[in-house]
Amino acid sequence: MNHFQYKDGVLHAEDVSLDALAQSVGTPFYCYSTATLSRHFQVFKAALPPSALIAYAMKANDNLAVLKTLANLGAGADIVSGGELRKALAAGIPGERIVFSGVGKSREEMRAALEANIFQFNVESEPELEALDSVARDMGRKAPVTIRVNPDVDALTHAKISTGKGENKFGVPIDWVPGLATRASKMDGIRLVGVATHIGSQLTNLEPLRAAWGKIIALIADLRAAGHKIERCDLGGGLGVPYELDNAPPPEPELYGRLVAELTKGLDVKLVFEPGRLIVANAGILVSRVLYVKPGAAKNFLVLDAAMNDLIRPAMYDAHHDIVPVRDPGAAPKLQRYDVVGPICETGDLFAHDRDLPGAKAGDLMALMTAGAYGAVMSSSYNARLPAPEVLVSGQKWSVVRPRITYEALIALDRIPDWLEDGERTQPG
């Protein structure tokens, strides 16, 4: 369910016309719906025990306005860098609702997170545990730690976003966890509080979660039997979203919640979840204008003014995003088959292959749907393009929550060293 619907023949974000927004902010731009964000957070939260911490995985969309919207609803944050820590704090997410994941936390990042009194560090290896112990001891502190477990389960998702198999870089192999827990319990800078896992993203089947969580829960019993006080269990993120409206949708949060309840019954732990995509994906779209309808020898191309620098998911994961015209094409439009592409000089700069869309012309606005997660956050200025700005809508209100930078600002990021300034030639001729 999202709040992008046609009204009076024009696609709206809640009560705001995307045509009018395009006139005001220019294209391409991202547009997020507050009502959708809030709804998704609340539906997910309602499916889980009230005491659970929902640490939104902000890597999916770290715009401060999005974070603030979720923070106001009680969300915590799952962070993976010092930069995300700063953004979470800047958006008003308190340290006590912040979880720090990731295989490569630096000592500086650990220090900053300890200073912010974060809720827990999900530690992924013995060397990382040693580093955290030493940083915490230097500060006279004890870091709250869960061990992230690699359960060696195939999440049945795209290989590039699968994280729970033995060969993946994530987590500690499950058989090694008891040994590492014993080490942790002897470290003065560490307070072992629990275990964590996250097996992958865009999961459309609950069975891998059942398998992984089953192993984690059995592990908790072993750890407790060995004398460890296991009071928290972080079950990660990963629940998928429907990218194609005519597809069988992934399991609803309610079903996911039922699985959690079934497996954790009587476990006596505080549960932590790290959903990202589920909260924001369908709350965002990328609006773009058709530059040209380019006839080709083999096919017709719809050349948009958005490109892979704005939304890299199709190029990187062959991801599908529905594409709809901003002007309502009516009930039975005449369809044309297009490759939908951007202006970047790579064949991979392609949003859709052989897509049947209502016949389009230059100047038409198109919306790439389900672009709120891993969209703007993964954008770049490749080809010296200005990343798309971001707009947040709430009812009839809208606000540019990240402006388009200027070419001057883009150019000012670089420096020309003195020795080049005087025009000295380093090559003959």
CB of 405 to ligand LLP, least distance (A): 23
Let me know if 4 is exposed, middle or buried by CB neighbors in 10 A (0-12, 13-18, 19+): buried
Q: Residue 3, interface with ligand LLP (CB under 6 A)?
A: no
Q: Residue 198, interface with ligand LLP (CB under 6 A)?
A: yes
Can you tell me which of 202, 288, 309, 394 binds ligand LLP, judged by CB under 6 A? Answer: 202
Cβ atoms of 151 and 199 closer than 8 Å: yes
Residue 15: CB partners within 8 Å, gap ≥ 6?
7, 393, 395, 396
Binding mask 388-427 for ligand LLP (x = CB under 6 A): ----------------------------------------
Instruction: Tell me the C-alpha distance between 87 and 59, whole Å.
Output: 11
Instruction: Considering the complex, state which of residue 105 and residue 313 has its C-beta at the smaller distance from ligand LLP.
Output: 313
Residue whose pair of structure tokens reads 């923070």 in the numeric block = 71
Can you tell me which of 277, 282, 283, 304 binds ligand LLP, judged by CB under 6 A? Answer: 277
- How do 29-33 and 53-57 pair as beta strands? unpaired
Binding range to ligand LLP, per CB under 6 A, among 44-52, 194-202, 248-256, 339-347: 194-202
Q: Residue 237, interface with ligand LLP (CB under 6 A)?
A: yes
Instruction: Considering the complex, state which of residue 105 and residue 198 has its C-beta at the smaller distance from ligand LLP.
Output: 198
CB of 319 to ligand LLP, least distance (A): 6
Binding range to ligand LLP, per CB under 6 A, among 14-22, 195-203, 218-226, 288-296: 195-203
Can you tell me which of 33, 63, 69, 101 binds ligand LLP, judged by CB under 6 A? Answer: 101
Half-sphere exposure of 234 (CA within 13 A, CB side): 36
Instruction: Considering the complex, state which of residue 151 and residue 238 has its C-beta at the smaller distance from ligand LLP.
Output: 238
Binding range to ligand LLP, per CB under 6 A, among 41-49, 275-283, 333-341, 357-365: 275-283
Binding range to ligand LLP, per CB under 6 A, among 69-77, 109-117, 269-277, 387-395: 269-277
CB of 278 to ligand LLP, least distance (A): 6
Count CB atoms within 10 A of the CB of residue 385. 20
Q: Residue 276, interface with ligand LLP (CB under 6 A)?
A: yes
Which candidate in 1, 225, 331, 345 is catalytic? 345
Q: CA triplet 400, 401, 405: central angle to 5 degrees? A: 80
Instruction: Tell me the C-alpha distance between 63 and 84, whole Å.
Output: 10
Q: Residue 161, interface with ligand LLP (CB under 6 A)?
A: yes
Q: CA triplet 147, 170, 262: central angle to 5 degrees? A: 60
Instruction: Tell me the C-alpha distance between 271 and 79, whole Å.
Output: 17
Instruction: Tell me the C-alpha distance between 102 and 123, whole Å.
Output: 8
CB of 147 to ligand LLP, least distance (A): 13
Instruction: Considering the complex, state which of residue 136 and residue 149 has its C-beta at the smaller distance from ligand LLP.
Output: 149
For residue 169, the surrounding DSSP H or E stretch is: none
233 is catalytic: no
Cβ atoms of 75 and 276 closer than 8 Å: no
Binding to ligand LLP (CB under 6 A): which residues in 364-383?
A: 374
CA 41 to each of CA 44, 140, 350, 399: distance values in angstroms, whole numbers, following the listed order = 5, 37, 31, 21
Q: Residue 88, interface with ligand LLP (CB under 6 A)?
A: no
Cβ atoms of 194 and 269 closer than 8 Å: yes
Residue whose pair of structure tokens reads 């190029």 in the numeric block = 315
Binding range to ligand LLP, per CB under 6 A, among 7-15, 247-255, 268-276, 328-336: 268-276
Q: Residue 40, interface with ligand LLP (CB under 6 A)?
A: no
Instruction: Tell me the C-alpha distance between 302 and 300, whole Å.
Output: 7
Paired tokens of 204: 């459309």
Instruction: Considering the complex, state which of residue 87 and residue 277 has its C-beta at the smaller distance from ligand LLP.
Output: 277
Binding site for ligand LLP (CB under 6 A): 57, 60, 78, 101, 161, 198, 201-202, 236-238, 274-278, 313, 317, 374
Residue numbers annotated as active site: 345
